[in-house]
Structure 1
Amino acid sequence: MDNNMKFKDGFLWGAATSGPQCEGTFNKKHKNVFDYWYEVEPEAFFDKVGPEVTSNFYNSYEEDLAMLKSIGLNSFRTSIQWTRLIKDFETGEADEDGIEFYNNVINEIIKNGLTPIITLHHFDLPVELYDKYGGWESKHVVDLFVKFANTAFRLFSDRVKLWTTFNEPIVVVEGQYLYQFHYPKVVDGKKAIQALYNINLASAKTIKVFKENNYGKDGAKIGTILNLTPSYPRDINNPDDVKAAKIADAFFNESFLMPAIKGEFPKLLVDLLKEDDVLWESTEEELKIIKENNIEYLGVNYYFPRRIKAKEEKVDESKPWMPDKYFDNYEMPGRRMNPYRGWEIYPKAIYDIAINIRDNYDNIPWYISENGMGVEGEDRYINSEGIIEDDYRIEFIKEHLEYLHKGIEEGSNCFGYHSWTGIDCWSWCNAYKNRYGFIALDLKTQKKTIKKSGQWIKEFIK
């Protein structure tokens, strides 16, 4: 490891979390899809731990932000919950408690010398809007989201200079409509593709409102956050494997990356969806909005690569449409694994992402908005001073930073690195199974303790 890696002045070193994963449900007037799912099916969540308290950020944000500052970070990403800020979804009118809480949090972030990066949607669709309209299947919900975003901009853009519309929108499509790991666990290709289109439209319409109302007048910028998982073919000399990997990339990566930056959808994907009769419903006016309202910077969440091979089994056409009809996942022999998450560890992909953005996406300004390692049972690594010695996390981050640095040295326009996460937080159905933080959380007492990785990152940044 080259400990003398130099990153430019002003580089954003930070950690990311989200409203639903850290705040708890205190004083929230509405439920999101996860709040509701936990209510009706607590056994779907590891150890039946739900979102009510999480890491108690609603009550402890002052101490939490001071701790993040103490480990040398200079920036912090979280999200504003639609279900906390908005009182009336149809009008976009804000709730007084929500306004006060987010004002206090943003002021406290700035007071600690941290740059706030605020996301508007981190998987927390109001369940009421799913029940009433079908959630992201509905273009009315798109317009309600834009009202929420406009309210947030009006209230907070005097201080927030980096906004992002969505976090990992492809996960909403995968989880809710294809692979059944988000409520309502539907398997419906046509609905999945309409939701994919509608979320792209919601992001573009939000950017349009941001620009038309001049919320960026003091240098504020708006972007989006995509989890990019490069698709590597099993055999680069096998045209079938290469084609399968291209299709996987078009679906999982380019379906949001291309509209966000270039204002259009990948032709390969559109042609396949047309052929399969699952293409979204769109209008010329909507496509024009997507074309003209592009992001100003990109956040990239990177955890693992995707390994792809040509389809080996015949597709059962009687089953619902799935993107997997065009490829199979491939388990590469000898791959390094995080056994707790079932994810391959492949740091070089961060370099490949950096070069792809440089060469194919106008070298847009971007940053790593999430990267981290979740491990189960970290209590095993507590030393005599009560500190978790998470050397595996330090190694993971170091390796990824080496490859990121190489990409930057070769001209990729990356301005920051955020780990997932600062303080161990609640992770959807996984709850607290795997821990990711620089700072450990005792769930029973809510005591927070800096891990070895938290001490290390402070020295590394210095």
Structure 2
Amino acid sequence: MTHTFPEHFFWGAATSAPQSEGGQYAGGRSASTWDKWFELEPERFNANIGPEVTSDVYNRYREDAKLMSDINLNSYRTSISWNRLLPDGKTLNEEAVAFYRDYFQSLRDEGVEPIMNLFHFDMPWWLMEKGGWESRESIDHFAFYAKTAFEQFGDLITYWTTFNEPIVHVTCGYLGEYHWPKVNSLKRAIQVAHHTNLAHAAAVVEYRKLGLDGQIGNILNLSPVYPRSQSEGDLKAKKDAEELHVKSFLEPTVKGKYSDYLIDLLREHDLLPVVEEGDLELIEKGKVDFLGVNYYQPIRVREVEEHEKTYPVNSLGHFSRHYDWPEKRMNKYRGWEIYPEGIYDIAMMIKDEYGNLPFYISENGMGVAEEERFMNEDGMIEDDYRIEFIHDHLEFVQKAIAEGANCFGYHLWTFVDCWSWLNSYKNRYGFYRMDLETGDRSIKKSGKWIKKVIEEKKLLDKNVVK
């Protein structure tokens, strides 16, 4: 197997507007759910740190673009803040347009291709007050926002995506308390998922209408699902988990329809969403040019015993339960399994089941707490654990490419340590460390390592950088 990467491979990093921009209410920006939630319950956020400043990209984007170029990154994925571009959902904010145009041009001037996402969990508060994604009104509002973004920045952005990990705002906001509005209703969650799929498709339609010279995709967290055993019950749990956690967005995004299996599964348990006339025709129009694939860990499942089920069904735990694989390797700081082979299995699934659609790894990374423990006498974080993590995953990216997978890039989460929702800065992820007091950036050992990998266009030994 060759150890080189394709000539035009996208090497980069990823973040989002709410986790990196800061400038909370600067330049006319209005509140998102995260801004309001922090105002309401600051104690829920690690160390009481909210989204006011985050990585201060609002003021440091030119510096960051130069730092990306310094380590040979040629692409960068972030998002636009809906509440900054359209503070009331209707009126274009010219200050935001000027900010974003200069931001994107600064990236381009440093040889960094901006890949732009439209929604990264940051629902505008004015729309949340109308019901958020539970309201059908959200579909038209999102389509208008998407159209506005395409019109304002279509000359600077070639690669667009609609959502980041749409399953997450469904499960964390409507089947848990990790995103606003913190409700727990499977029926409502499924309705939110349907409206999100419709919003995605409506944005794709708007993009196609404009005839721009570019491509549009969707970013999905595609975790491979592995059963405890080959028993009938465990295999049924695997199939159900795949359909609910992975393919509920993958099938509409790539094939333009929900799978028959998912429809039958939801119908069997009286969980079908309200579907209006024209919905399925709209979803059929939402097929994408490419996928962003976020991969962190696999899903391991087992059969649900009858005594564990509840009726009426109001939990995904009715269909499958987590299986604690005894051979697992863990990132203890995040509580996630480290399983590099999973990235290969996902690539092969896209190749074999989804027409070998072009995709890139849009997120992969390792969050570690108290990284200052690994600071050397020169003040650099020696994050050998992150180098090992990236190296081992890139090995399987290479294997997939060698076997015909249409993978065109790899992005680490993230470029510089960013704010992470309720965890704030508990775990660090970046190629660059951010000083929480000053905001200053300093390169980590992993940044030096990836610079050499990109320079030589091949996977280098984990210890090549001393």
Instruction: Answer whether TM exceeds 0.5 for this pair.
Output: yes
Secondary structure of the corresponding residue to residue 243 of structure 2: helix
Q: What one-letter code is carried by the residue in structure 2 that aligns with 1:227?
A: N
Unaligned runs of 5+ in 1: none
In the alignment, what sits opposite 1:82?
A: 82
2:179 pairs, out of 172, 182, 201, with: 182
Which range moves more in the overlay, 264-273 or 189-198? 264-273
Q: Do the aligned residues in 2 keep the contact of 1:188 with 1:320 (CA within 8 Å)? A: no
1:102 pairs, out of 90, 93, 100, with: 100
The whole-number CA distance in structure 2 between the counterparts of 1:318 and 1:238 is 24
Over 3 Å counting, the alpha-carbon distance change for 1:30 and 1:192 in structure 2 is same
Q: Do the aligned residues in 2 keep the contact of 1:54 with 1:425 (CA within 8 Å)? A: yes
Deviations 1:85-143 (A, max 9, x none): 11331x3x3112111111111111111111110000000001221112x1001111110
Q: Do the aligned residues in 2 keep the contact of 1:372 with 1:396 (CA within 8 Å)? A: yes
Provide the TM-score with structure 1 as the length reference. Answer: 0.96
**How far did residue 285 of structure 1 move?**
1.1
Unaligned runs of 5+ in 2: 456-466
**How far did residue 286 of structure 1 move?**
1.4
In the alignment, what sits opposite 1:36?
A: 36
The whole-number CA distance in structure 1 between the counterparts of 2:311 and 2:358 is 44
Q: What one-letter code is carried by the residue in structure 2 that aligns with 1:42?
A: P
The reply on whether 1:232 has 2:232 as its aligned counterpart is no
In the alignment, what sits opposite 1:148?
A: 145
Q: Do the aligned residues in 2 keep the contact of 1:187 with 1:320 (CA within 8 Å)? A: no
**How far did residue 292 of structure 1 move?**
2.6
Over 3 Å counting, the alpha-carbon distance change for 1:43 and 1:129 in structure 2 is same
Q: Runs (4+) of structure 1 moved beyond 3 Å?
A: 315-320
Between the aligned residues of both structures, percent identity stands at 49
In the alignment, what sits opposite 2:332?
A: 339
The whole-number CA distance in structure 1 between the counterparts of 2:247 and 2:286 is 17
The whole-number CA distance in structure 2 between the counterparts of 1:304 and 1:148 is 32
The whole-number CA distance in structure 2 between the counterparts of 1:343 and 1:316 is 26
Q: Do the aligned residues in 2 keep the contact of 1:350 with 1:404 (CA within 8 Å)? A: yes
In the alignment, what sits opposite 2:464?
A: none
The reply on whether 1:203 has 2:200 as its aligned counterpart is yes
Secondary structure of the corresponding residue to residue 84 of structure 1: helix
The whole-number CA distance in structure 2 between the counterparts of 1:318 and 1:131 is 31
The whole-number CA distance in structure 1 between the counterparts of 2:126 and 2:178 is 19
1:397 pairs, out of 371, 390, 393, with: 390
In the alignment, what sits opposite 2:136?
A: 139
Give the 5 Å matches for 1:5-16.
5-16=3-14
The reply on whether 1:369 has 2:362 as its aligned counterpart is yes
Q: What one-letter code is carried by the residue in structure 2 that aligns with 1:366?
A: F
Secondary structure of the corresponding residue to residue 291 of structure 2: strand
Q: State how many pairs are aligned.
A: 453
Give the 5 Å matches for 1:21-420.
21-24=19-22, 25-27=24-26, 28-89=28-89, 91=90, 93-132=91-130, 134-215=131-212, 218=213, 220-235=214-229, 237-312=230-305, 314-315=307-308, 317=310, 321-420=314-413
The whole-number CA distance in structure 2 between the counterparts of 1:45 and 1:88 is 26
Secondary structure of the corresponding residue to residue 166 of structure 1: strand
**How far did residue 366 of structure 1 move?**
0.3
**How far did residue 453 of structure 1 move?**
0.1
**How far did residue 349 of structure 1 move?**
0.4
The whole-number CA distance in structure 2 between the counterparts of 1:178 and 1:356 is 27
Secondary structure of the corresponding residue to residue 87 of structure 1: coil
Q: Do the aligned residues in 1 keep the contact of 2:310 with 2:318 (CA within 8 Å)? A: no
The whole-number CA distance in structure 2 between the counterparts of 1:142 and 1:123 is 15
Q: Do the aligned residues in 2 keep the contact of 1:173 with 1:192 (CA within 8 Å)? A: yes
Secondary structure of the corresponding residue to residue 307 of structure 2: coil
The whole-number CA distance in structure 1 between the counterparts of 2:319 and 2:57 is 43
Secondary structure of the corresponding residue to residue 419 of structure 2: coil
Q: Do the aligned residues in 2 keep the contact of 1:174 with 1:180 (CA within 8 Å)? A: no
